[in-house]
Amino acid sequence: MKKLFLLVLVAVSATFAFAQNYDLVVAKDGSGDFDNIQDAINAIRDYKPEGRQRILVRKGVYEEKVIVPSYKTNISLIGENRDSTIIIWHDHANMRTKSGWPAFSLSDERNAQSAIPNKNLRKIGTFQTYTLRVDGPGFECENMTISNDAMTFWNRNWKQDRNNRSEVAQAVAVHVDGDRAVFRNCRLLGFQDTLYTGNDDSRQVYYNCYIEGTVDFIFGPATCWFEGCELHAITNGYLTAASTPGTHPYGYVFYRCKVTADPAVTSEWLGRPWRNDASVVFRECELPAVINPLGWHNWNDPSREKTARYYEIKNTGPGAALDGRVKWIRKMQPVESNQLKAARVLSHAGNKWEANFKPADLQGLALAFCDERLGQGTPYVANTLEPKKLPNNLESYVEPLVMKLNGVDCTTFVEYMSAAMLGRVYTPTDPNDSIMRRFVTALRYRQAVRGNYATRKHYFSDWIADNEAQGLLTEVTGSIPGAKKQKKTINYMSTHRSEYPQLAASDSLTRAIRQVEERLSAQSTWYIPKNQIHKAYQYLREGDIVVFVSNTKGLDVFHCGFIWWPDPEYNEPQLLHASTSEHRVTIGKFALADYAQAIPTCQGIRILRLNVN
């Protein structure tokens, strides 16, 4: 019973600590700050000067209609799991209310459905049917499902008989009017009019998303970049109905996307122009056989053939053949095609947007600290966290959060890079970035609480254990064949007290560090012996944190860095690290195993994996 209690306590502590890396937590079970998403959004400060605000949404089905108002800016809505974190509502355009406004409760929604025959009431119309509406600029949504299931909610047997007895009409899942919106790894589910990309001047990105619908299920005037998305047709219909303004050079660009369809689908059009100047590009996409050979429809208005701007570039699949396409499809010159990048598409005149929509990764971030091609790297600087002069009261002194990004040692380099990846920070060299500071605090200080010198995680074994408890990373060493288990007495700091000014000046801090050492000494840890590292290569990934285990008495670890392995088929993994010998951040000249083998004090390595997915 005691063991079970401890396991529960550890789980609760991990959840609490991890939650501190978010401004608010939404959880259906009441364990968060709110049990619904709208209340959390409402609680975010209007026009926040303190920077981006992050809302973690725990797994669950959130049956609510959600609005992000125009004065709620730079909000990130982050689901715990894409398929298990679901916002769902059931409005459709034929519903009727006295005011024409939609219902925000299930009982009122049922009344609006029942009122469809009452012609004295007003239809709510397409643009009131959203499940999620985004008006605030800078909105980001990640790892979530947003669904409008009106068709199946009001027609329980629709999937079997495809009979729309309940007169369900257009039903929008996501409606975005705000500028600079990003949806990453989301599922957008609906029927007719699933995704409304509203507002002429709105710019939006959909990266690695799944978007499902029937007719015109991606529609509107915004400029949008879709990359790595799957567009799934449920019935015969039209993928897009763009209404791009004629003054905008681009509307929808689908880059390396995939079109799929239910087995019953026999003819799917790539699009039709909702307004005259509709602009849609499919580039390097995979198109199935169900794509109508003509490709594009003119919405029964031949005049739109002269103004609509439809392009197909280097697509593949049985539906990509251009032989039977409509004659009015346009051709893009190679030079223009090569310039078709997200930054160019999403930058309006005088309003540039470098949309960093891909998950922050090791290779992209590494350039901020190291450009090996030019032999340049951030200088190695030791002891950047230590004050030049000790404060008067060391025991009560709260350490400032040091963010010296222009000079790093091996640990601070790993902290800055890890913080950037965990927080989806794309320019990690800004010491004022609020998300960066938050994750550095969590990584550096025990339970993410910054206090005196002893609250800092000086031993890397402590760093690993605490950050794993916070949910920031997972140690995978023990799962790798050839790994060995050991216990070691850790006491280097307390037995070399004179080397640490704070400990030399404070018995209290020394006692606190000794308590940490006793805890670490009681724990068993896994390591891969250095003569087994070659055999472990197949279990490693680029971006893993590699920690070098020391055979020095009383010391657990002596160095750390990242596995750098851009070409696993042709090269062995190397080490990206802040090097004392090179005096800079660099990529090691030798393979990882050879690097470890050449160091007499190296016993082996431990492997950590950031929880960034």
> Could you tell me where in the chain the CATH 2.160.20.10 domains are found?
25-345
Q: Given a cut of 70, is residue 130 above it in pLDDT?
A: yes
Question: Tens digits of per-residue pLDDT, 140-161?
Answer: 999 999 999 999 999 999 999 9
Q: Given a cut of 70, is residue 137 above it in pLDDT?
A: yes
Query: What is 25-345's CATH superfamily?
Result: Single-stranded right-handed beta-helix, Pectin lyase-like (2.160.20.10)
User: Residues with catalytic annotation?
Assistant: 193, 216
Contacts of 611 (CB under 8 A, 6+ apart): 422, 471, 472, 473, 474
Question: Tens digits of per-residue pLDDT, 79-116?
Answer: 999 999 999 999 999 999 999 999 899 999 999 999 99
pLDDT of residue 351: 84
Question: Tens digits of per-residue pLDDT, 519-552?
Answer: 999 999 999 999 999 999 999 999 999 999 999 9
Q: Given a cut of 80, is residue 491 above it in pLDDT?
A: yes
Tell me which DSSP letter residue 420 carries: H
pLDDT of residue 135: 98
Structure tokens at 462: 């402590």
Q: Average pLDDT in the 581-607 region?
A: 96
Q: pLDDT class for 280, splitting at 50, 70, 90?
A: very high
The residue written with tokens 């995979």 in the block is 286
Q: Average pLDDT in the 456-478 region?
A: 97
Contacts of 304 (CB under 8 A, 6+ apart): 273, 276, 278, 298
> Could you tell me where in the chain the CATH 1.10.3670.10 domains are found?
362-610
Q: Return the ∠ at Cα 245 (arms to 244 and 247), rounded to 5°.
A: 130
Contacts of 110 (CB under 8 A, 6+ apart): none
pLDDT of residue 358: 87
pLDDT of residue 506: 96
Q: pLDDT class for 18, splitting at 50, 70, 90?
A: low
Domain 362-610 CATH class label: mainly alpha
Q: pLDDT class for 372, splitting at 50, 70, 90?
A: confident
Across the chain, what does the average pLDDT equal?
94
Q: Average pLDDT in the 403-422 region?
A: 96
Q: Given a cut of 80, is residue 4 above it in pLDDT?
A: no
Q: Given a cut of 80, is residue 294 above it in pLDDT?
A: yes
Tell me which DSSP letter residue 495 carries: H
Q: pLDDT class for 375, splitting at 50, 70, 90?
A: confident
Q: pLDDT class for 50, splitting at 50, 70, 90?
A: confident
pLDDT of residue 19: 56
**Which of 50-59, 87-96, 399-408, 595-604 is predicted least confidently?**
50-59
Measured in residues, the chain has a length of 613
